[in-house]
Every structure is written in C-alpha cells, then in structure tokens.
Structure 1
C-alpha cells in the first residue's frame, strides 16, 4: 500500500502495561488524542487534523462508529489485542463512510499450540484495580482465544468520579480442509462513568453518570477454489446501548432544580462478500458487494421545577455498496487503485476512489510512494431525523475530503529506518447547525463549511541487540476556509483560524531496553504543543490556548519464574506521568497527574 501505515504489536503494549488503545495511539505520528479529564471520560481522536468523527474504527473487521462517524475511545482496552493497524489518509474507497482521514483496525489474538492460560492483577493510584484472564490454544484444524477482564478506579476528582468496566472477547477459527476456513470473533464491553462536571469542567454534580455496553460479532468464511481464485463471505453485527442519568430526586444531587436521563440503542448489521483473483503476473483484482442496515432507537426524559417532559424516536435505513480494488506489482514498482459506489437510502448515490504508486530500490533500501483519494462521512442521526425545537435535514449530503500525500522510507542497515510523509487534505460540505432556521419547521442543518489540513509526519526506529528506540514528529497546519453559519471570534469555526485542539507540533519517543533475559524496561515520552480551544463557561465562548505539555511514562517487567514447563510469573511496575505534569487536553478538564501501578501475571501451559 502506498499510504503511510503503522502497526502496533499487542505484545509490546502488554509488556509496557498500556491498558487503553487511545494511550497506545498517542505515540503514533499524525494522531492527537483528547480526553475530557479523568479515566472513562469521552476520548476523541484527530487524525491528520480531520474532525473527531473522520476516523473509521474496526474491531475484528466490524465497524464500531456511531452513525455519522463519532467513536468514544474511552472504554476500548488492549485486552486480548494482537495488533493495531493505522492507515492514514481517506480510505472510503475500500471501507466506506467515516474513513475520511484514516482507519484504525484492532485485531484480537488467535490461539495456537498447547492450551495456555494466564491471570493478571494490578493495583495502584486513584484507587485503581485491574484484572484479566486469558485462555488460548490450537491443534489441528481448530484454534481458540478467550479473554475476560475488568477494572475500577475512583478517578481524579474529589467526588462522583468512579469508572468501572468489564471486557470479554473471543475468537474461534477452524479449517474444514486446506482451502476452506471460517472464523467467529466476538467482543463485549460494559462500562459506567460517574462525572461531577458540567459542560465547562466545573465540579458541581454529585450523582450524574453515563453508562454503555457494546457487542461486536464477526462471522467470516472463505474458500480458495484455485491458486488464482478465492471467495469470502461475512456477516458483521454491532449493537450498542448508551445513556445518561442525572435525576434530581436523588439525595446526593447538587443540581436539584434540573435533571435528565436518556437511553439510546444503536444497531448495525452488514453482510457481503468478495471475490479475489490473482494472476502469476503479479496482478490482484478484488471485487465485493455489501449491504448494511442501521437502526437507532432513543428515549429521553427531563425533570425540572416546571414538571417533567419526555420524548422518543426511532429510525432505520439501508446502504448498498459495490467496491473494486486492483493492485499490480512488477519488480520494484507497485501500483494500486480502488473505487467504491454507494447507494444510500438517505443521501442517495456517492462514489469514492483511491490510487497510489510505490517504487523500491533493493540496493539502497529506499522506497518512494505517492497516493491520492477521497472520503465521505454520512450525516448523523440527529442531523437527518431530529424533530421538535431542532429539525433535521433529510436532504443533507455526506461531508467529503480529498487528499494527496507523498513519502520516502529509508533503511540504513543495522536495524535503523526513517520515514517522511507530506500530506494535504481538503474538507468540504461540512454540516453545521444554525440556531435560527429560515422559517418555522425548516431544517437547522446544512452542508456549508470548508476546511483544510496539511503537514509532515516523520518516524524513525533503531534496533540493537538489547535496545529498541522509536521516535515520531508531526507538523500540522489547519485552517477554516469557510466558517458557514459560525460568526465571531468565539465560534468553533472561524474563517482563517486553525481547527480546535490540533497542535502544530507533536513529538513522541519510546525506548525498550532488555537489561537481562528476565528484566526489561520501557520508556514513553510525549511533547504536545499549544492548541486553540474555547472556554464554554462564558457566552459567547472566549478563545483560549491550551498550554504545551510533556508526559513521561516508565515501566519495568521482571520474569520471576518460568521456563522448562514450569508456570511463569511476571511482576510489573508502571509509572504514568512520572513528572506529574499539570495539563488539559480539553479546556477546563484536568488530566490525571502522576500514577503508580504494581501488578503480577501468572502463565500456565503453552
């Protein structure tokens, strides 16, 4: 592939004690993570300066974004994760809606070999406790891997900041013969987050909480008919329930004059298949068809000194898509091209494309690459279907992007590599809300705004016998080109200004040193530059600048026992934000300070 891609191995995350996928992504170039304060708070990802709903997230091939693209990374853990793949740049030609700035794929572990089980525990700062159990193995034509884990924390605030979650996952893969295989992968997460803050970050409420659970199911089967021809069929299911509760009749409520609760159920079922044809000349042609059904059911109830009110809604819609991908490799040159045609019940027809080329010199270890493509993001449920005081617009079209990038990858020998990538992305038809529609009953949402982002991504790595170093640097320049309905310096979109919460400069580095055969040390360092934001405690919101900050994490692992068929025992110590830096990723919401965690892991079999 000609795009800039990164793979993060699950073994490295487990060794370093990184529990959340969002924390692993902080060290990759081109990515910016913003969490609204404590553990469990809403966590957003900005890739190459795009909006937080411009990244498609897949878990074992199942899209887990909300309709309209948003995804909260707060409860996505590294439990049972084999690897994380980051594909930068628009990828809607293959993946469809939401892949405007890129794609994040999470793959769970596959079992192999003799049965192997493990049990781990960890505890530490902020009243944190974590546990996880795994079981895996595989013989003959069947393999399996299962995981169950959970954690709780008191949070960083004085009261009502508890967070707890449970995650279960499993993968079973079987082979009927050498040419026929089938896989069933499932993942379930349940979480509850108590938040005392209002929308400005002020700590005021003693009983508000949010909750949610999500289930993903992937069924995939394929057969290779000849050396050239392969077919695959799949069914993906994603269902999520989420809501909030802040009822004023609770004795603990400090905002007794108003309360609110809500419940939303969202379901997506996708089925399809693809045909892969490979030739001896290095050409691979893939063609596929997908049909998707989405449904959203919602209920809300509000309480105030004036009485109670409630509302409910329900909508569903379908999408059909055909996609084709062509790749050609001959000696040092590789070319690829892709096209996807959508037929959506809401916005009608849409087409996206992507193409790229790469050339590699074996003698010098140099690889040159260029790529270009387009992406789309479907309107949200609210933007399309809302009724009442806010009215949706059924005539909305998708938000769109066009991207160009070029890069060079260089191998220096001795385990050293350097990668440089320059990119430019333009965003158009951005959907905005107007508080004053032209006439009563007219819609509040329109495709009116434009923006762009451009920058440079640099990544380097060095490997020696005991030492592995990685580093990344991102330069990002964003600009609003058409502010649409937003006006004034306090608007979230200001013509000529930068997009919010996107730093111009970001630096990250990791180091792993194997002290001995049984002792290893991991270090992670991040420097995030200044970002523009808004202070929503004022009206209109005041423009503010989030200060630059530096975060240092340090962990060590000690293999106490194991080998020769004996049970293994590993002890771990991890310090997060070792320098106790005080910073905010969202204005008004303080990030956690220094934390120290100690744990152990027992492994049997394998």
Structure 2
C-alpha cells in the first residue's frame, strides 16, 4: 500500500484526535431508533450525517409484505427491475446508481452480492426473519469498498427476545399462492435464539408478455440466529440461512425454461467490549450460490453457476469523552466463480478467483453541545488484479436551534471492480477493463413542526461516473466507455393528522444522463411518488399505499419508452388478541397494466388473506 495513503490515514487520525477534547455535553434525550450501516457502528438515526431510511419490523408486518422486493418497490429512491413475478430475477437500482450492480447488499453486515453478475437477486428473499432494513444513499466505498457506488441496503435479521415462543403464519390468495412460515425464538440467561422456516408456492403467470403459459415458483427458506454471552462483555453470534428455489421462466427462445438454485450464508461475529470506551467485532462468513438453468430450445441448453464469497472483518470502535468516536478496521474478501455452459454450437467454461484487502477509518466529532456533528473517513483497497484504490468521504449535521432546522451534507468517492462475467465469460469478455469510479455530494434540510406532529424534509444530490462498464453491441464485449451524471431532488413529509390517522409522502426527481451518448440512462424514472395513509383503532388498522412511477427508457438509444403507472395497495389488520392477527390485502387495486422491465409482466389485481399467531 502506497506512502500517500498512509500519509492521508495519519493526517485524518490526527485531525480527529485534535478535535476530540470534551467539547460536547451528553444529550439527555434518548433516541430509540438506531442505525448500524451509516458508520458501521450502532448510533441514533438523528445523529447520522448520512441520509438513512429505516424500515422496521412493524412497518413490514403492518403492510404484510411477502418479499423484500415488494418493500423496496414502494420506496421513491429505489427502482426494481423484475423479469416477471415472484421468484424471477429482480435487481434494485438506487437513485444514485446507474444499475443494480451499483447497490451493495448486506445481510447482518455480510456481503451477499453475486460476484458473477455484481448484483443481488431480490426475487425470492422473504421478509419473515427481518428485524429492519437500512438504506444508505450515495457513494459508500469508504466504509464498504467495491459495489457501494450508489448506496447500501443492509438487511438485519431478528434475534430471540423474551420467553420462548412459537410463531405461525399462513397465507393464501391469487395465482394459486400459499405461504406458511414457522418461527421459534426466545432467550435465556446466556443464550438467545431464533429459528425460521418458510414454504412458498405460486402457480404464477407468464414471465414475458409474449407468452401466455404460467411460470410457477416454489421456494423453501430456512434461517437461524443464535447468540451466546461468553462473558458479560463478550457476545458470540452465529447466523445461517439456506434458500432453495425452483423457477419456471421464459428464455430467449424457450418458454419452458427452468432454473433451480441452492443458496446459503453462514457467518459468525464475536463482539468484545472489555473496556468501557473500546469495542471490537470480529466477523467471518461464507456466502455460496449454486444455480442451474435448463433451456433445451435456446442456444445454451444448460448453464451452471457456482459463485461464492468468503470474508473476514475486524472492526474497532473507540469513544473518547462522548464527543469523539473513531471506527477503524480491516476487511478481507475472497471471491470465486465457476461457470459451465453447454450450448447448441459450443460449450463455455471458466473457473476464476480473486482476493481483496481493505483498511478503513472513520472519525466522528460532536461540537457545540451536540448541535454540530462532523464526519470524515478514508479507505484503501488492494485488489491484486486491479491495483489499489483510495476513497474518502466527509459529512456534517448541523442543528440550527433558533428555527429547529437540521442541515445535512456529504461528499464522497466510490468505485466498483468489474464482475467475473465482464472479465472471463468466454467470447463476451474483456480482461482489460478498469474499475468504475464515482464521486458525489448531497445536501438535505429537515424541520419539525407542530410539536413534531409534522416533519418536512427536502434535499438535492449530484453524482458523477467515469469508466462505466457497458456492453458494446458491435464488438459483443463490455468496455469502459461510459460517463454519466445523475442529479435530482427529494422531498418528504410525515404528518400525524389525528391520534389515529397518519400520512407519509415522499417524492424523488431524477435527471440521469449518459454523457457519451447524450441520452438518458435506462430504467431511471424522472418522477417517483409514494404516499401512505394509515388509520388505526383499538383492534383494527387500515393502510393505503400509493406509488407513482414516471416514464423511463428501456434501451441506451432511448428509442423504447416505458409508460408511467400508478399502483394502489391496501392492507387491513384485525388484532383478535395480542397473539393473534388476521389480515387481508389487495395488491394493484386499480388493476394497472405496467412494465418494470421491457416486455415482462407484473401481477394484475390480486387478493390475499392470512393469519399470524404467536404463542
């Protein structure tokens, strides 16, 4: 690692330590909602300099979501590219990213992006074992390295709490769909545990609008988390999940294409707090995918992918005088992909691996009685195949007490290394590709009114890319030819109209341009609006969710345009007792006919009813 990096590292640390003497009075108001992803430490959401969206377990249960893709689809800063219904491939494009491979996805802090494609497939990820979802927007490579170009989605799973209990969920509805989920959880003196198993089936509908046969989906999912207190200041946590799916889909020339996959993630974390102001976390994980595609009538009859990622992290948190915190550590990651494809004319194969080491630090300083928070970070990554990359970020949060106005601002840099398919896929690869690079800034205002019954927020952002990797249809190979700029604005409000009635609304405007071709980027809606109205009584709760997605372009020359559409989803919950809930939901109430991805179908109006029981 270069001398310049260590000079920057030392300077960042010294500046942070100089600013650290007791300049802050401890805030007596406790903020219950915390976030982990913004700075790789647990901190109150209101103290983060970065824009953070948190979806809680209560939010998921109120709206009775089934898959994480449904949750993300409803958010104004995310666009889902789904190739059909449940189980079909679905990527998530954050507003700051140009493609789904620019979104880093974590499960309990472990990286789960597929190294062969660079993206994470949300098509079959269930919400049943999720405690909360944290979404961090903007370039985040300083803390997370490659892939965190447009932002980070961190999915945090539940851990056992309270007396041992059993939870059961049964749901059925349109398209011959049924779902059953069983959960076992609890805690004792030195141990907590949570086990969850899910079975999902749907007859489905045709993935593409060129066919009319049903493309079904079967899914079995198992997840567990066990925590052990080895000592009052030492906790060991074990995580494991396994996901099996069988998906029918429509291939290039084969409407009876079939995909089977087996995915598993295992990880462990050891948290040591041997000193009051110093904490260490050691993490070890392996994420493994196995998927097989059968398309007898296509060019490629059989394709097998075996991508895997394993890694280790060492994180350190140091607090001084409650005014200064320093996070520093090391990440190691090894990726491997084995691909075999049997075609009508030839067979393709590659088996490659690569390693990466990154070191990082992040300073956070509270000044002026907690009204001003400064944040600065630096990271150095060493990829043997691509050399070294240094990224940084700075941010602030300032509370203007006289007008009770919060101002947040950030600037950061990011990068993403080419995927294995970009580099090695036989006949369609380019081994000379360089990493994509990005830099961007954002500025946000937030104000509480009417004794916090009304919260208003607004902001703007700008992000610039260079060396974007794009597939060249003339050479049939990926190339570093892209330059792009994404700029936009956001606004949000939360209004507690009465004790029982609440309105939430968000709006995002995007202006995304491919600077090389002077065209708009694909699948980036100009406008997206989301509004939720929630009404609750003693045992009843009703929710109406509205999402508007504006026009998008489906190809690089902007000759194919997707029409705007509106979705209305309704959900009703009846709490028979604290341990028994009956719910009913209607998706796509207005029966909108729309496309998220060109020539691929989405569900019509559909109805579902379910029971959730805990004992």
Number of aligned pairs?
A: 557
Moved more, 97-106 or 542-551: 542-551
Structure 1 position 590, deviation (Å): 2.3
2:136 equivalent among 87, 97, 106:
87
Alignment deviations for residues 433-487 of structure 1 (CA, whole Å, 9 cap, x no partner): 44566xxxxx9443221011000111211234222221110000011112xxxxx
Q: Counterparts of 1:534 and 1:370 in 2: how far apart (Å)?
A: 33
Counterpart contact for 1:160–1:206, Cα < 8 Å: no
SS of equivalent residue, structure 1 residue 13: helix
Counterpart contact for 1:29–1:459, Cα < 8 Å: no
> Residues 281 and 588 of structure 1: is their aligned pair in 2 closer, same or farther, counting only changes over 3 Å?
closer
Alignment deviations for residues 411-447 of structure 1 (CA, whole Å, 9 cap, x no partner): 112422112120000011112344566xxxxx94432
Is it true that 1:55 corresponds to 2:65 in the alignment?
Answer: no
> Residues 124 and 435 of structure 1: is their aligned pair in 2 closer, same or farther, counting only changes over 3 Å?
closer
Is it true that 1:470 corresponds to 2:504 in the alignment?
Answer: yes
Alignment deviations for residues 8-65 of structure 1 (CA, whole Å, 9 cap, x no partner): 0122212211111121112323211221222222212221252221000001111111
Corresponding position of 2:459: 421
Q: Counterparts of 1:104 and 1:49 in 2: how far apart (Å)?
A: 13
Alignment of 1:96-495 (within 5 A): 96-157=145-206, 158-196=212-250, 198=252, 205-248=254-297, 260-280=301-321, 282-303=323-344, 309-330=346-367, 331=369, 332-362=371-401, 364-387=403-426, 389-393=427-431, 395-412=432-449, 413-434=451-472, 444-463=477-496, 464-482=498-516, 495=517
Counterpart contact for 1:335–1:356, Cα < 8 Å: yes
Is it true that 1:587 corresponds to 2:598 in the alignment?
Answer: yes
SS of equivalent residue, structure 2 residue 175: helix
Q: Counterparts of 1:141 and 1:337 in 2: how far apart (Å)?
A: 37
Counterpart contact for 1:48–1:476, Cα < 8 Å: yes
Counterpart contact for 2:86–2:124, Cα < 8 Å: no
> Residues 37 and 237 of structure 1: is their aligned pair in 2 closer, same or farther, counting only changes over 3 Å?
same
Alignment of 1:504-515 (within 5 A): 504-514=526-536
Give the TM-score of the pair, scaled to structure 1.
Answer: 0.89
Structure 1 position 282, deviation (Å): 0.7
Structure 1 position 94, deviation (Å): 0.1
Q: Counterparts of 2:156 and 2:322 in 1: how far apart (Å)?
A: 31
Structure 1 position 584, deviation (Å): 0.8
Corresponding position of 1:538: none
Alignment deviations for residues 192-211 of structure 1 (CA, whole Å, 9 cap, x no partner): 2101353xxxxx63421122
Superposed CA RMSD:
1.9
Corresponding position of 1:39: 86
Structure 1 position 122, deviation (Å): 0.8
2:523 equivalent among 501, 509, 514:
501
Is it true that 1:571 corresponds to 2:582 in the alignment?
Answer: yes
For structure 2, the residue ranges without an aligned partner over 5 or more in a row are 1-47, 207-211
Corresponding position of 1:486: none
Moved more, 59-68 or 588-597: 59-68
> Residues 72 and 122 of structure 1: is their aligned pair in 2 closer, same or farther, counting only changes over 3 Å?
same
2:123 equivalent among 59, 74, 99:
74
Corresponding position of 2:32: none
Moved more, 179-188 or 335-344: 179-188
Moved more, 66-75 or 271-280: 66-75
Corresponding position of 2:7: none
SS of equivalent residue, structure 1 residue 126: coil
Structure 1 position 69, deviation (Å): 2.6
Corresponding position of 1:64: 112
For structure 1, the residue ranges without an aligned partner over 5 or more in a row are 199-203, 249-254, 438-442, 483-494, 536-540
Is it true that 1:559 corresponds to 2:581 in the alignment?
Answer: no
